Amino acid sequence: MDRVAIITGGSRGIGRAAALAAANRGYRVCIGYASNEAAAREVVGKIEASNGKAIAVRCDVASEDDILALFKAADDFGPLGALVNNAGVVDVSARLDDMSADRLHRMMTINIVGSMLCAREAVKRMSTRHGGQGGVIINLSSVAAKLGSPNTYVDYAASKGAIDTFTLGLAYEVANEGIRVAGIRPGLIDTDIHASGGEPDRAYRLAKNVPMQRVGTADEIANAIVWLMSDEASYVTGSILDVSGGR
């Protein structure tokens, strides 16, 4: 396979695991990262050490210019076959009464607008309507979209609710143009995201509330991502898969 998979936020956590899994499945992998160049280089090095092909491009998905540059770099790398809209952020726990407008704008810009702009660029390249060969778009949501995350981050949960609705709408919009669009709602996954929300042990603290009584791994999400990307999921579109241990 010579097709490219773009994975935003591919330097760490779930995106990193998805990048390694996609390379294993034969994709040429183009990862975006926000600022951690060392982590991005490590992922590229690991893929190349297994005879895979990968590049890393600095791309803050809050910036349309960065997104255009990411897709330009991917174009130079090969024909686009998949986009994984993985980049996403949380913020420190707070009630809505204490959330600033800046916080809300940042959350929605990165988590929603960034994903929609990346998907726009992917559709322009993949849609048979634009002369493309088809492809797959996977959006990372969260079980927070269903739980609402009161007293923690209703802003994050609402941003993921928007991602779920966007997944449905875009899937139906391009279903007849060779593009499948699907979402994944991870549960409590062991990554750095909890530290960025001010509580590194959050996933472990809440694991007792998970029916399976444990946190999940980034690899367990990546396995679902590459399955949805594969021809094994050829009749799957507009679907949102909970990968959450039953949560």
Residues with a known catalytic role: 156
CB of 128 to ligand NAP, least distance (A): 28
Residue 217: CB partners within 8 Å, gap ≥ 6? 17, 189, 190
Return the amino acid letter for 41: R
Cα atoms found within 13 Å of the Cα of residue 222, Cβ hemisphere only: 21
One residue of 93, 133, 165, 196 binding ligand NAP per CB under 6 A: 196
One residue of 13, 132, 161, 245 binding ligand NAP per CB under 6 A: 13
Residue 115: CB partners within 8 Å, gap ≥ 6? 8, 61, 85, 87, 88, 139, 163, 166
Q: Which range, of 6-14, 97-105, 121-129, 165-173, touches ligand NAP by CB under 6 A?
A: 6-14
Residue 1: CB partners within 8 Å, gap ≥ 6? 25, 26, 27, 81
8 binds ligand NAP (CB under 6 A): yes
One residue of 4, 5, 6, 12 binding ligand NAP per CB under 6 A: 12
87 binds ligand NAP (CB under 6 A): yes
CB of 49 to ligand NAP, least distance (A): 20
One residue of 25, 39, 75, 173 binding ligand NAP per CB under 6 A: 39
One residue of 44, 112, 123, 193 binding ligand NAP per CB under 6 A: 193
CB of 130 to ligand NAP, least distance (A): 25
Minimum CB distance to ligand NAP smaller for 2 or for 64: 64
CA dihedral 167, 59, 154, 222 (to 10 degrees): 60
How many residues make contact with ligand NAP (CB under 6 A)? 32
Decide if 44 contacts 32 (C-beta within 8 A). no
Minimum CB distance to ligand NAP smaller for 86 or for 237: 86
140 binds ligand NAP (CB under 6 A): yes
CB of 34 to ligand NAP, least distance (A): 4
User: CA nearest 143: which of 235, 215, 192?
Assistant: 215
- The alpha carbon dihedral of 125, 11, 52, 138 has a sign of negative
Give the helix/strand (H/E) hosting 119. Answer: helix 114-126
9 binds ligand NAP (CB under 6 A): yes
Q: SS3 of 52, please?
A: coil
11: number of Cβ within 10 Å = 26
181 binds ligand NAP (CB under 6 A): no
Would you tell me which residues interact with ligand NAP (CB under 6 A)? 8-9, 11-15, 32-36, 39, 59-62, 86-89, 110, 140, 142, 186, 188-189, 191-193, 196, 203
